[in-house]
Amino acid sequence: MTQPTDARYLLEKLVSFPTVSRDSNLELVDWAEAFLTGIGARCFREMNAEGTKANLYAHIGPDIEGGVILSGHTDVVPVDGQAWSTDPFTVVEKDGKLFGRGCCDMKGFDALALAAAAKAAKMPLKRPLQVCLSRDEEIGCTGAPPMIRHMQGTLPKAALAIIGEPTMMQVVTGHKGGIGYDTHLRGFEVHSSLIDRGVSAIMEGAKLIDWANRMNDENRAKVPQGADALFDPPFTTLHVGIIEGGTAHNITAKDCNFVMSFRCVPGESMDDWGARYEAEVRRLEAEMQKVHPSCFIAIDRRWDVPGLKPEENGAAEELVRRLTGDNATHVVSYGTEAGQFQDGGYSAVVCGPGDIAQAHQPDEYITVEQFEAGGRFMDRLLETLCQ
């Protein structure tokens, strides 16, 4: 039986797959691949090393270069501990809003891209449309780079990529870059009454977190220069979102784990910030080892997300400004896969329906008006590809 191809149905279907980043996305990918194959698209997968997750990309239209990529991620953040008023994995419409995990970030755009693909398959395209559905965006944009490399030798190269993160359909031409370090401190356990003879991994880890607080204070006090001033906030930020460790209140903690993340403005180097953190880690590790030589700090640069750089006469910016009518300058502080597409040789912008303020929230939603605005954008894009 032929599946419905309207965007609302596709959104409901996509949201029904609980593709939290810690879990597999293969059930969604299986369904999306069957949908795309059913409309006549050529589909390709790129698997992770464990075979538990996949990137999916597809080609519709003539087998030539110069097409347009619509790119969105399939994974969503967890709902654990959030107070939802509705089932997070069922789309519920109320007061002009569509509620559900991923409706805003970013299965709303994914649904619109799939609906556009179905329409494109029936149109006399003169330039191809390519749809990319990535894995593992929410854990550091780690899925897109292997997908982009995989595409290079498989499909005719597109001219530009539109990454549909929620921007209220505004044209975003720049965003901060980001790096993240898995950080594991190993201390030395003693009874807490003998704390001077032990090393608490948690208390030593707190020193690194305090260093991050001091760096934030210093950065906040700087006068932003050039393009940095466009961002909110207009400085590099450091953050620790989760910390784990310890076994009891009266034992110096043997282990402490957290991720130290950086969101860097264009005027500062991510590598320089990484080097500063690594130097502080080594300094603190030496102090710990003076108390007990078995102590250490292990760090691993888990993700490295390039910023999106504004392009001079960029093909993506020119097209999306023409389709949206938006001629203002917009940059964002969150990271996306757009910088990775740019590094892969594509002109890239970020433009999609919904408000980023709703992303990752309980009762996440996209307004019906924004969803429909995204649909009108897709229709204008398809008309352009036929010219």
Task: Give, for 322, the enclosing helix (H) or strand (E).
Answer: helix 315-324
What dihedral do alpha carbons 116, 65, 41, 171 form, nearest 10°?
Answer: -20
Q: Where are the beta strands (DSSP E) in the chain?
A: 42-47, 54-60, 68-73, 92-94, 97-99, 129-134, 160-163, 172-175, 177-186, 237-245, 255-264, 296-305, 330-332, 347-350, 365-367
Cα(329)–Cα(295) distance, rounded to whole angstroms? Answer: 49
Q: Rounded to 5 degrees, what are φ and ψ at 261?
A: -115, 150
Two tokens at 257? Answer: 């784990």
Alpha helices in 199-258 (DSSP H): 201-221
Give the type of residue at 168: M
Q: Are 173 and 315 in contact (CB under 8 A)?
A: no
Catalogue the active-site residues.
75, 137
Residues paired with 180 in a beta bridge: 261, 303
Q: Are 328 and 198 in contact (CB under 8 A)?
A: no
Cα(291)–Cα(49) distance, rounded to whole angstroms? Answer: 40
